[in-house]
A and B are shown apart, each in its own frame.
Chain A
Amino acid sequence: MVTPQLFSGQGVVYSVATMAIESDLDLMLRVRDGDAASFEILLRRYRLPLVSFFCRMVRDQGLAEDLAQEVFLRVYTSRERYQPEARFTTWLYRIATNLALNAIRDRKDTVSDNADHDSEGGPVMERFVDPHPSVEQRILKAERERAIRQAVEALPQNQRTAVILHKYQEVDYRQIAGILNVSESAVKSLLFRAYEALRVRLEPLLREGQI
């Protein structure tokens, strides 16, 4: 069993080389056996992908971090029951996807009420703006980003989830089938329709890019 002191002290020693070499599966098996350092490596490895995933799914940084934290907590608490049959990321994103969909369902009204918050240049958007471009460039960039985000958000929920997993999290479509618990052909069909819908919606921006 992992002792709390190991986490409290943050005295876990790990190296970049270790993070690169150790597979998720090996790390998770060691976490199951009580190795706090392995959990720390998994935390470092997946903190950014998970927070990014939740940010795109729920569009609220605070909630995104809360949900990502919950994923790590669930991974930790269910470590003794972990069975290395499926890939670790499939398991991880299945937990994450379920949490995100539940959060979207619970916060549906709130999200629609705040829909214009960051489209007006709120805190989430501003964090990524290049500190040096002109005001005009900033406005154009923000407008493009808003258009893309709205196009993705306009997709049906299952298509949106599939696109975010496939395009932004770089999860293979076979894995997405495992995460969403549907067939591979169903995932392909979701992605076909989603990318085609995005191409149609974002055609003005695509034409701009050609000029």
Chain B
Amino acid sequence: MKCLEKDQLISYAYGLTDESAAREVRAHLGECSHCRATVEQYGRLDSLLDEWKAAEPTPEFDVRVRQAVDVRNTGRAAWAFWNWGWARGLALAGLAVMIASGAVWFSRGHRRISTFARIAARPFHSAGAAPRPARAAILHAAAPAASTGVRLAPHTSGPSAATASRSDDNDVQALEDYDMAANFDVLSEIPKGDSRIVY
């Protein structure tokens, strides 16, 4: 008697065949001890493979799955909120206000620096200038303090009433100019942050 093909026997042993083919194999096995032994060996292989056990899920597994679903639901809820037109409009309007505020703040900072730069550009603050003279020295200076950039009237030795009056006016003007330059609070005009002014 001719033995069956191995594929037929494996199909029979592992249920990969239909009922009519299974009947044929069963009939053959009743007469062929060799094929019967082969099928029995596949049966033992099936039992042997059962010995390979797999791990069971840990008790935390279900909790983790539920948490993952929760997180996904939360994300979807946030996205759904974004999809509402009014919510999106509100968010964009808020963003626009924030950008505008930032722009105003930034431009104000630059204007302060520019004001200061104009003051600082005066000869009084220029590099290499002589030290600022004392207030009394200006009033009694023999010559105009050109180096300081402050306008002072020429000092005359024989004062008439008119020249004395003009001289007093000049002195007052010079004193005002000096005060404006000397008492200018430089530090208050420097914006906060890393902006640095180099004289």
A148 at the interface (CB under 8 A from B): yes
Q: Is A191 an interface residue (CB 8 A)?
A: yes
User: Which of A68-76, A81-89, A104-112 forms contacts with chain B?
Assistant: A68-76
Partner of B72, one of A73, A173, A210: A73
For residue A48, CB closer than 8 A to chain B, the reply is: yes
B31 within 8 A of A: no
B102 within 8 A of A: no
Bin chain B's interface residue count. Answer: 35 or more
| Chain A, residue nearest B63 (CB) | A10
Q: Does A113 contact B (CB under 8 A)?
A: no
Q: Which residue of B lies closest to A206 (CB)?
A: B44
Q: How many A-B residue pairs have CB under 8 A?
A: 120
B6-24 at interface with A (beta carbon < 8 Å): 6-7, 10-11, 13-14, 16
Which residue from B53, B55, B69 sits with its C-beta under 8 Å from A76? B69
Consensus secondary structure, chain B interface: helix
Interface residue? A7 (CB, 8 A): yes
Q: Which residue of B lies closest to A189 (CB)?
A: B7
Q: Within the assembled complex, what's the spacing in Å between the Cα atoms of A44 and B10?
A: 34
Q: Is A199 an interface residue (CB 8 A)?
A: yes
Complex Cα distance A205/B41, Å?
A: 11
Nearest CB on A from B19, distance (A): 14
Listed in ascending order, the chain B residues whose CB lies under 8 Å from chain A are 6-7, 10-11, 13-14, 16, 41-42, 44-49, 51-58, 61-62, 64-70, 72-74, 77
